[in-house]
Amino acid sequence: MGIFGRRIDIKNATKTTYSDEDLRKLDLNYRNKFQIDREKRIYTPFRKEMPRAWQSQVRDMAFEQILDDRIFSFRHLLVIPNPYGASVQTAMLLFNTPKEYRVRYRILGKTEGTDFVGETRMTTRHRVPIMGLYKGYTNKLILELIDSAGEVYQRRDLRIYTRDIPLGQQNIVTKVEHSESSCFPFILVNGFRFKPVVFDQNGEVRYSLQIKTDQTGMIPLENGRFLYVDATVNCMAADGSIRACRYHEMDYMGRVYQTYVLDYPVGRYAAQNGDSLFLLTASEKGYADDCIIELDRNTGQIRKKCLLQDLLGDKYRIEGNWIVASGMQYVQGQLILTMRRYHTVLSIDWEKQSVNWALAPESIWRGTVLADKLLKSVDREKMDGYMPESPNIQVQEDGSLKLRLYCIQNKGNVPAEGAESDDDSRIDFYNIDPVRKSFQKERSIAVVKSQRDAGCFYRQESDRILSLSGMLMRRSDNLKACIEELDGQTGRMINRLRLCKRYRSAWEFKPDIEAYSVPLEHDLDAVKGTIAPPALYKSVNGETLPEAVAEKLKKRYFGNIRVSDTLFLFAFCPGTVQNVYLIGETQSYVQCFEGLETRPRKESFCMALDQLELGEYQVYVEFDNQIYHLKNEIRVERSQQE
């Protein structure tokens, strides 16, 4: 019915559009709801920046007030482009109806098979998240009201213009090879040196995110959400590198549900089980990704920790980056960890902190604690998939697993006995029986040779494979990565997108439109965690700071200064600032940036203020070995609400 059949049109339908300035004025009415009653309060003339998680809540409060006013209807609705300031290819529709209806919309694609369809919940207060819009284009939408019986009550057309996206997210697809309608119509690509974008089967960008991030970018979670690395808040790691320390749990509309401020390094892979978030981190200084932690999403606290050395032994623990993980997933009480260097897929019983089974060449773990955990082949074939990437996993009714494993097929730095590098990569289809500790390889499909950052998805109904090659072995200026749709039996190439830029990861784009249509709850604890405070500053031989120079420190050298909740944020070119001092009457602090790796562009760094002693602090910056005094101060006072 409706979009898919009979139409009930509304003629002379209209719309109103709110600008960013209109929305910011509405937001001002709700900012005072985010005054947190803490033991200490921070006051400063420096610019205040509301955390993005609170900004999302404020914006939803403004939307709810618009719906309370009951000004807009289905005939005359409100259109808000880029409602959360995160993606120019999104919009929000707001209106009321006298009875409860669902809203179904279709973004008309430029060719067959590229329409984007979304549907909201039953309600009289309609917040319709619009996604799938073309960039720099006047998009045509068809909207329908659906009653409780599934019948179309009303229908109307709508046009929404979307402005262009940044140049770094354009012209990534250099060639499209298309023979049949795709079973994977929208693919999200998490770029290596570009922010995430979504391509349709024609290579058109249908979604993009404009929040600054690092090379990790986006990590998919459950329910249409993802973990996003915020590269605007960094600290100096122990080895002098720049490490992000703020992570947002977001949806594709750009709403931030929770923000985690983490004082430890986090790897590229994460997994979720309800309120638990599993992250890879370092066991100690000098190591990387050799420890798994379970983070409580409600508190930001670590529930449990698992050192991989305890599970694997110390045979290979001879250097800092000894794990080289290539994927992590949570499946029915077990964590599936893929270790590319050791050609291994590992199942970990998280509650017992033990290994269930391992799919790997026998020679890799011979004589170790994993030797008796290796799966045995039903057909007495050896496991010959080398350098595996994150598998596509399907759980069967009997508890067995079907693994589709993308194998790079290089012998690697830790070669198995008899291993040789192949000219092609391949996707292996495995059946895993955890009870009998056995595996059976069904078939292998040869794919284009990759070097790293690969993966695959499988659609059983249509027997199609989505092969993801984020970094090809044989690259050129116009071809560095590709996305291929293949026949699941023969490997015949059906559709292909050629990309001129590398990407870290990719997956099917499946936003939860119904969940996005529900407003966020008011949550003052949406920002969780903190980082270590700056070190106490003690004078040497009774000498205090050298006298500050008379001239001001220009903003182009040390700028974008602001305070966000309990973090003091600022930006400078790494290598130019040695220290930032907070000098008080009774106590002083210093944040050291000596030894920081140099970069040509400014990066944003932070200092924690929530653990400072009460008092007023003058801010000094040691830039190119000269001391500069900033004009504004920071005061830490006892809360007036006590």
pLDDT tens track for 503-550: 999 999 999 999 999 999 999 899 999 999 999 998 655 557 888 899
Which of 162, 195, 224 terminates a domain? The answer is 162
Residue type, 139: N
In a domain, 433, yes or no: no
Residue type, 252: Y
pTM of the model: 0.93
Which of 109, 128, 162 terminates a domain? The answer is 162
Which of 114, 144, 162 terminates a domain? The answer is 162
In a domain, 66, yes or no: yes
Q: What is the pLDDT of residue 2?
A: 42
| Residue 410 to residue 418: CA distance in whole angstroms | 12
CATH number at 612 reads 2.60.40
Q: What is the pLDDT of residue 373?
A: 95
In a domain, 615, yes or no: yes
215-233 pLDDT, tens digit per residue, is: 999 999 988 999 999 999 9
Strands (E), 54-134: 76-81, 91-107, 116-119, 123-130
* SS3 category, 33: helix
Q: What is the pLDDT of residue 121?
A: 96
| Count of C-beta atoms within a 10 Å radius of residue 598 | 9
Query: Each residue of 504-531: b (16+ CB within 10 Å) or e?
Result: bbbbebebbbeebbebbeeeeebbbbbb
584-622 pLDDT, tens digit per residue, is: 988 999 999 999 999 999 999 999 999 999 999 999 999
Range of the domain at 607: 533-638
Instruction: Kindly list the distances between the CA atom of residue 502 and the CA atoms of 102, 451, 477, in Å, as whole numbers in the listed order.
Output: 40, 11, 11
- With a CB cutoff of 8 Å and minimum separation 6, the contacts of 119 are 102, 103, 104, 105, 146, 513, 514
In a domain, 108, yes or no: yes
Q: What is the pLDDT of residue 36?
A: 72
Instruction: Kindly list the distances between the CA atom of residue 234 and the CA atoms of 265, 506, 571, 596, 621, in Å, as whole numbers in the listed order.
Output: 11, 25, 10, 12, 17
| Count of all residues that appear for the chain in the document | 642
Q: What is the pLDDT of residue 26?
A: 85
Burial tier of 423 (Cβ tally within 10 Å: 0-12, 13-18, 19+): exposed
- Average pLDDT of each block of 10 consecutive residues along the chain (642 residues)? 50 81 86 78 93 95 94 95 95 97 97 95 97 96 96 95 95 93 95 96 97 93 94 92 95 97 93 96 90 95 95 91 94 94 96 95 94 92 90 92 96 91 95 94 95 95 96 94 96 96 96 96 92 85 75 94 95 95 93 92 94 94 94 88 51
In a domain, 106, yes or no: yes
Domain total of the chain: 2
In a domain, 72, yes or no: yes
In a domain, 76, yes or no: yes
Strands (E), 282-424: 291-296, 302-307, 325-331, 334-339, 344-349, 354-359, 376-377, 392-395, 401-407
Residue type, 9: D
CATH number at 150 reads 2.60.40.3100
Q: What is the pLDDT of residue 71?
A: 93
In a domain, 364, yes or no: no
